[in-house]
Chains A and B, each alone.
Chain A
Amino acid sequence: MKLKVIPEKCNGCGICVDACPFASIKIEDKCAKILDTCTDCGACVDVCTEKAILAEEAEVPVYRNIIVFTTLDDNKYPKGVENLIGIAHELAARTNERVEVVTCCEDARSCEKTMDMLFKAGAEKAYLIEHKFLKEFQPEIYAKVIADFVKSKKPKIFLMPATYDCNELAARVASILDIGVVLNTTALNIDEFEGHLLQTTQIFDAQYDATYLTDGRPQITTVCVSALPQMTFENEARGEIEVVKPELDLSEMKIKKIKSTSLEKEPLTLKNARIVLCCGRGGRNNLNNLNELARMLDAVVCGTKGCVDAKVITDDLQVGITGESVAPDIYIACGVSGAIQHVDAVKNAKLVVAINKDGNAPIFKIADAGIIGDLNDILPAWIEYLKSSRR
């Protein structure tokens, strides 16, 4: 219900002002005016002698279907989008809805082939938002276009892959629509009773899983596709393509791009590597295996003082209080006993893994996980494991 004053009928008597329990109505220029604080209770409608206040039944908008958004870079979508469509299918099947995709592009015709691949992955319809300013990703413009699109198509659920760009876009769209958004979800579920989307994400350094229910439609979320089970879907039918041509007023766009450079992949160093493998004195004879494992894990090999003294590792790669300190996501100590001078330099690592023959080695006191065993067995087994899992 929404209240409306008809100025021609209102005589400005002020009965409604006295009747309003929320002080949300006032008289301006001999005409009642309803303020933002109005709760639509209707008290003023009942008292008005002139029938100058009308209650309009607001239309309840119907939100249906799941729409998956993807960015296109050079007509390619991020890996994982096909799987995301599969996941959307799984969710849509429970409430009997459709899965559609939407993307922004400069020229709709050039992306038809890409859309065919998404139809194959399970999309039933594709929307192409076409405009010459949508050639490359610009958060401000994309957010406006997508927010308008969502307003007009009214999907129930709006999914995006959790890329850097999409996370920002989701946040911007949600703030334009003034609704909630959950980023980087690792599990999705449908509420059995109401059919709402339940979104699970990791909080507090991934120590906790929290499941949220967001109010407002659509429910927007970005999905960490790799964290969810693989859901591939083979669809033969070719879906329908609808081209949407938005009107863009560029004067509203305040952010100006001066220069843009794509990033070259930086060479791995002790400081930027997310995984660091450390060779201790117990690992001296396994350097080849360590290097092979490091190559497969995108890791850097470093050494303890003992190893550097034995000239197995160069001294710029020494980790310890007389060498470098490191703070990688994973620190893997191979044949490292765990002397305090060494351990102190890795205390900021998020996860410490130790492999050692000696179950009483002090390294196990600070490690989060470990294997007691011979490096000669463990390292080849690890390499073999990675090789077979990548096949």
Chain B
Amino acid sequence: MNTPNIVVCIKQLPSSKTVRIDKKTGKLVYGTEETINPPDRNALELALQIKDKKGAKVTALSLTSEYCDAVLREALAMGVDDAIIVTDKIFKSADSILVANVLAQALKKLDYTLIIFGENGCGIPYASAYTGVRVAHKLNLPVVTGVCDAQLDENEIEVLRKTDMYNEILKIPLPAAISVRIDANKPRFLTARNINLAYKREIKKWSAQDLIDVSKIKTAYKVVNTNLRFEKSACMLFTEGDASTKVAALMKFIKNRLVIQRL
């Protein structure tokens, strides 16, 4: 059996401290993207677990608008064999369609058996979601979301998929793409030695120009405006009125603050 090639696509997120609204355009602006999208750690962990069990070559692939390799160093420290970064200014205002197109073109250059994504969380800018599904569609691959565990065989992969309502076990022929849930596993700890070694390794740099025709970019999202819903600041105290008025005001505050319930 040939060694399978696993590619893990990692999203870089800007640190939330640098985020603000541009008053003129109504768009969010933020500093350098430097933290890893949390579920992508679980995606890396799943890839490395497969590597530990069966042997595999694991490659981490990431797109950024400005060169920043902290996230890929982290992946290298976790134990991936190869790291590739695609950098271009056009990603500054990229939407999921553009990102998926570039990722698909980059993946075409790699020899892959399995592509792993982290499932999108809620706190992501341009939450157009499910980039993995789009990439897989571009590459004409079967894709399964909500994956918690995977067993890689020669020609197929068996995955455990979890949703809100049910668990299921699915078999997918290879090559395939999966996206991993944030509660799928516990990402491994980084040792000081591995972090140190990670900074001595080489990261391959690609440019978007090599992959797509930048003059013919297709985007489908226009940001009309962005509003700050609340400042994360000092404690909001409810002191006016009697007990029931205070409780009502508190409940209103809580409802506004929470990430939306689906139904």
Contacts and interface: CB of A to CB of B under 8 A. Distances in A.
A207 interface: yes
Judged by DSSP, the binding face of A is: mixed
Contacts of A384: 244
B144 A255 contact: yes
Contact of A364 (B21, B223, B227, B235): B235
Contacts of A226: 260-261, 263
B130 A171 contact: yes
A262 B134 CA distance: 28
Contact of A214 (B165, B220, B247): B220
B209 interface: no
Nearest to B132: A171
A15 to B, nearest CB: 25
A211 interface: yes
A364 B237 CA distance: 9
Interface stretch (B41-49, B58-66, B166-174, B190-198): B166-174
A172 interface: yes
A184 B235 contact: no
Contact of A168 (B133, B158, B219): B133
A244 interface: no
B99 to A, nearest CB: 12
Given A176-B137, A255-B170, A368 B246 contact: no
Given A139-B145, A385-B244, A369 B253 contact: yes
Contacts of A37: 213, 216
A178 B138 CA distance: 9
Nearest to A178: B97
A164 B129 CA distance: 13
B90 interface: no
Contacts, number: 238
A108 interface: no
B109 interface: no
A204 B123 contact: yes
A224 interface: yes
B129 A369 contact: no
A241 to B, nearest CB: 25
A224 B122 CA distance: 14
24 contacts: A163-B262, A167-B129, A167-B262, A179-B220, A181-B128, A184-B262, A198-B224, A202-B122, A202-B229, A204-B16, A204-B28, A206-B259, A214-B222, A215-B220, A255-B142, A255-B172, A330-B258, A351-B254, A351-B257, A366-B235, A371-B239, A371-B246, A371-B250, A385-B251
Interface of A: 37, 78-80, 139-140, 161-165, 167-168, 171-172, 174-176, 178-184, 186, 198, 201-216, 224-227, 254-263, 329-330, 350-351, 353-354, 359, 364-373, 377-378, 380-382, 384-385
